[in-house]
Structure 1
Amino acid sequence: MSLRTTDVAPRPVRGQFNRTALIGYAAFLALLLYGLAHTYWALGADGFPFGADDANPEYSAFQHVGRDRLAPWIAGGFLGSAAVALLLAMPGRRRIPTSVLMGASVFSAAAVLCTLADFRLLGNLAYVFMLKFSAINWTVINQLFAVVSVSLMVASAVVYQRRTSGACTRCGRTDAGAGWTSPEAAARWGKRAAYTAVVVPLLYASTRWAWALGFPLGISDELWEAGKKDHLWIAGAALATMGALGSLLTLGLVQRWGEVYPRWMVGLRGRRVPISLAVVPATLVSIMVTIAGVMYIRLHFQGAFDNQKDDWGATVPEMVWPVWGIALAAATLAYYFRRRGVCKRCTRR
């Protein structure tokens, strides 16, 4: 009896297992080290970066919680996450249901993104491009490490789910067909996501441009005059312009110039744009924008803006940022699905 080609397991590419397994072990190591660091701080050491010890505690979800109460909880959370990451990284299938391990990974990531991290990650990214490094402080560095750690954990959970379900660990495809991940389907829903990711930041930028031009849109005259004296509105307009330009680059995820360098790019024109050149920065921005938006929503429910009801322009536009972040992430994923081509591991299209 002859075997069909689909009955034969694809031959692994050299180093493929090591690369996928490395994600899980990297997540385990990062989470373990950070859990031990918080244990160190819980025992009384200096340098705790969150809560009341934050460089800017007014942005923190634990503004009035000191190190003695907060550090042990964070240490337990990261050490527990490290244990889950190790289970995900080790070869074979665990007795714990996959859905439980996946849920634990998502919960850990959500806890970090919604409580420990905030808009300063996005703000510092903008300042780096403006060559202003003074705003980068110890708390922001810790936020970045925490976000990277749980992001690696989620990536490891995705690899584990693929491995235990029989899908290709590299691309996630199976013999059942591509479905919504096919290039044709991704082109349809990716375009809607991309246009959404363009519109939202432009709405935000319009308020900042109005302030810089002398129109106190959505803010009181008193606040506008105070910001004018300190030249805050000029800086705000500059940051908003960077965001607007970035949103226009999002169109590259659905336009030809996002796949092939245009004619005016001397030396590169006609060449294909590397997938990672679009996917990596767009993914990072989508995460940081979502984090920033969630922070503003959290502060709203904490009552931080109760005395600023006449200044809705300074806070409400940012609360829509999660829509921007999620739409950008979806558009980026669609771009990847459209351009990834044949998998080098499983040879599926």
Structure 2
Amino acid sequence: MTTTTSTTAPLTPPAPRTGRRGRPRWAPWAATLWALGYGLTALGWTLTGDGYPIDPADPNSTMALLGDVPADAGAPLFAAVALAAAGTGAVMARYRPGAPVPHWWRRFAVGFGGSLAVVLLVVVPTTRLLALLGYLPMIVFRAPFDAEIRADVAEQLGVDYLHQFVALIGGFLWAAATVAYARRTAGSCVRCGRPDRSGRVAAVRRWGRTATYVAAAIPALYAGTRLLWAGGVSMGMSERQMDEMASDGALQGALWLGAFALVGTVLTLGLVQRWGEAFPRWVPVLGGRAVPVRLAVVPATLVAVLVTSGGLGMVKASLVEGVFDAEDWAAFGPALLWPAWGVALGWGTLAYWLRRRARCTDCGLG
């Protein structure tokens, strides 16, 4: 009779294809330090009862996925998870290429790190960050000349915003650390992930164009409703609500958000268009030059994360809090598609990066 040890036997990956400039040896250490700092801070919230950044009494908490978590439950939970993450990250960071890794540990570390990254990027942030991103260009343009806007911004930016920014930083650090660890323990190139033995790269690229069109269509729908309102057409909005928006200046904000979303639609299409890879000839100085990959990937990734998080908050408010009003469906309805927008944009951005990445300087594959 024979027994199998496939679930517990150490995994000895082949020699990794990384060079001296290989990516992210610092990523697991950075994620570990972040988790340790956050865990100690949350422990302070637990012991002192002060500083907890989530206020269930805040009216905006209805659209926050964690808005209903009180301090006496949230603070110790955050502390425990973060300190456990610090221990896990330290083990991941101390891994040496070629060393045997138990199957169960690799699955746990990759699953835990990936789940933590998702929570920090999607669950912790609220619609406030997305709103700030949407209004940021207008704020930058008008704030130097409008004292009222400066006062409103100063009043709104509080500890909850700081907490969400910190969570975003931690989410990206843990995403980078988990990807780096998964690649190193699989014997793939830490910088680029090649070679792809699973076929995932081909699948992502195959559906990348479809995902990009979906990601462009949803903000176009949102923009259409806002631009119609600004033009005086009350589609999906009661006349009473339209009058209220016109009297308090909200239609100007709707016009801005509609124009911003329309710009987002155009830029999203660039992920599958020639001008998304090389600047058009008519662009001064840059015409004909290749578009830097990060110039497209970094902002698109950030928008995908915030749109997914904000959209899930909208869905929560609609289903749980009963905020959705059928009479004024356009005020809230298009936002219920935002989770699909975020996922599609993330998929299209990944496909764009996979298509445009150059031959790797570490492993030489490409």
For this structure pair, what is the TM-score category when the shorter chain's length is used for normalisation? 0.7 to 0.9
Paired residues of 1:55 and 1:137 also in contact (CA < 8 A): no
Distance in 1 of aligned mates of 2:330 and 2:17: 57
Q: Could you tell me which amino acid in structure 1 is paired with residue 271 of structure 2?
A: L
From the superposition, tell whether residues 10 and 75 of structure 1 become closer, same or farther in structure 2 (CA, over 3 Å): closer
1:14 to 12, 20, 33: 20
**For residue 124 of structure 1, what is the aligned residue in structure 2?**
132
Per-residue deviation, 1:347: 0.7
Per-residue deviation, 1:253: 1.2
From the superposition, tell whether residues 64 and 55 of structure 1 become closer, same or farther in structure 2 (CA, over 3 Å): same
**For residue 274 of structure 2, what is the aligned residue in structure 1?**
256
- Does residue 312 (structure 1) correspond to residue 312 (structure 2)? The answer is no
Q: Could you tell me which amino acid in structure 2 is paired with residue 213 of structure 1?
A: G
**For residue 173 of structure 2, what is the aligned residue in structure 1?**
152
- Does residue 105 (structure 1) correspond to residue 123 (structure 2)? The answer is no
From the superposition, tell whether residues 80 and 11 of structure 1 become closer, same or farther in structure 2 (CA, over 3 Å): closer
Q: Aligned residues: percent identity?
A: 37
**For residue 142 of structure 1, what is the aligned residue in structure 2?**
163
From the superposition, tell whether residues 31 and 9 of structure 1 become closer, same or farther in structure 2 (CA, over 3 Å): closer
From the superposition, tell whether residues 14 and 241 of structure 1 become closer, same or farther in structure 2 (CA, over 3 Å): same
**For residue 165 of structure 1, what is the aligned residue in structure 2?**
186
Per-residue deviation, 1:12: 4.3
Distance in 2 of aligned mates of 1:129 and 1:171: 34
TM-score (norm 2): 0.84
Gaps of 5+ in 1: 1-7
Paired residues of 2:300 and 2:345 also in contact (CA < 8 A): yes
Three-state SS of the structure 1 residue aligned to 2:25 is helix
Per-residue deviation, 1:198: 0.8
Q: Could you tell me which amino acid in structure 1 is paired with residue 28 of structure 2?
A: G
Paired residues of 1:42 and 1:71 also in contact (CA < 8 A): yes
Distance in 1 of aligned mates of 2:304 and 2:238: 31
Q: Could you tell me which amino acid in structure 1 is paired with residue 321 of structure 2?
A: G
Q: How does 1:17-36 map to 2 (within 5 A)?
A: 19-36=23-40
Q: Could you tell me which amino acid in structure 1 is paired with residue 75 of structure 2?
A: A
From the superposition, tell whether residues 151 and 286 of structure 1 become closer, same or farther in structure 2 (CA, over 3 Å): same
2:53 to 49, 53, 69: 49
Per-residue deviation, 1:292: 0.8
From the superposition, tell whether residues 64 and 329 of structure 1 become closer, same or farther in structure 2 (CA, over 3 Å): closer
2:344 to 321, 327, 343: 327
From the superposition, tell whether residues 86 and 222 of structure 1 become closer, same or farther in structure 2 (CA, over 3 Å): farther
CA shift digits 1:139-193 (9 cap, x unpaired): 12211211220221122111111111111111111275x84525xx765422212
From the superposition, tell whether residues 54 and 163 of structure 1 become closer, same or farther in structure 2 (CA, over 3 Å): farther
Q: Could you tell me which amino acid in structure 2 is paired with residue 195 of structure 1?
A: Y
Per-residue deviation, 1:194: 1.3
Three-state SS of the structure 2 residue aligned to 1:20 is coil
Per-residue deviation, 1:76: 1.7
Paired residues of 1:166 and 1:174 also in contact (CA < 8 A): no
- Does residue 82 (structure 1) correspond to residue 86 (structure 2)? The answer is yes
1:40 to 41, 44, 59: 44
Moved more, 110-119 or 30-39: 110-119
CA shift digits 1:291-332 (9 cap, x unpaired): 1111111222322416x2322212221110111111111111
- Does residue 181 (structure 1) correspond to residue 201 (structure 2)? The answer is yes
Paired residues of 2:303 and 2:342 also in contact (CA < 8 A): yes
Whose RCO is larger (CA < 8 A, sep 6+)? Answer: 2
Instruction: Give the count of matched residue pairs.
Output: 336
Gaps of 5+ in 2: 1-13, 144-149
**For residue 336 of structure 1, what is the aligned residue in structure 2?**
353
Q: Could you tell me which amino acid in structure 2 is paired with residue 240 of structure 1?
A: G
**For residue 234 of structure 2, what is the aligned residue in structure 1?**
216
**For residue 213 of structure 2, what is the aligned residue in structure 1?**
195
**For residue 229 of structure 1, what is the aligned residue in structure 2?**
247
Paired residues of 2:16 and 2:189 also in contact (CA < 8 A): no
User: CA-atom RMSD, angstroms?
Assistant: 2.4
**For residue 4 of structure 1, what is the aligned residue in structure 2?**
none
1:73 to 58, 77, 84: 77
Distance in 1 of aligned mates of 2:16 and 2:61: 53
Per-residue deviation, 1:63: 4.1
From the superposition, tell whether residues 53 and 23 of structure 1 become closer, same or farther in structure 2 (CA, over 3 Å): farther
Paired residues of 2:126 and 2:309 also in contact (CA < 8 A): yes
Distance in 2 of aligned mates of 1:175 and 1:67: 44
Distance in 2 of aligned mates of 1:279 and 1:129: 19
Q: Could you tell me which amino acid in structure 2 is paired with residue 52 of structure 1?
A: P
Per-residue deviation, 1:280: 0.8
From the superposition, tell whether residues 82 and 257 of structure 1 become closer, same or farther in structure 2 (CA, over 3 Å): same
Q: Could you tell me which amino acid in structure 2 is paired with residue 157 of structure 1?
A: T
Per-residue deviation, 1:11: 7.1
Distance in 2 of aligned mates of 1:274 and 1:114: 27
Q: Could you tell me which amino acid in structure 2 is paired with residue 266 of structure 1?
A: P
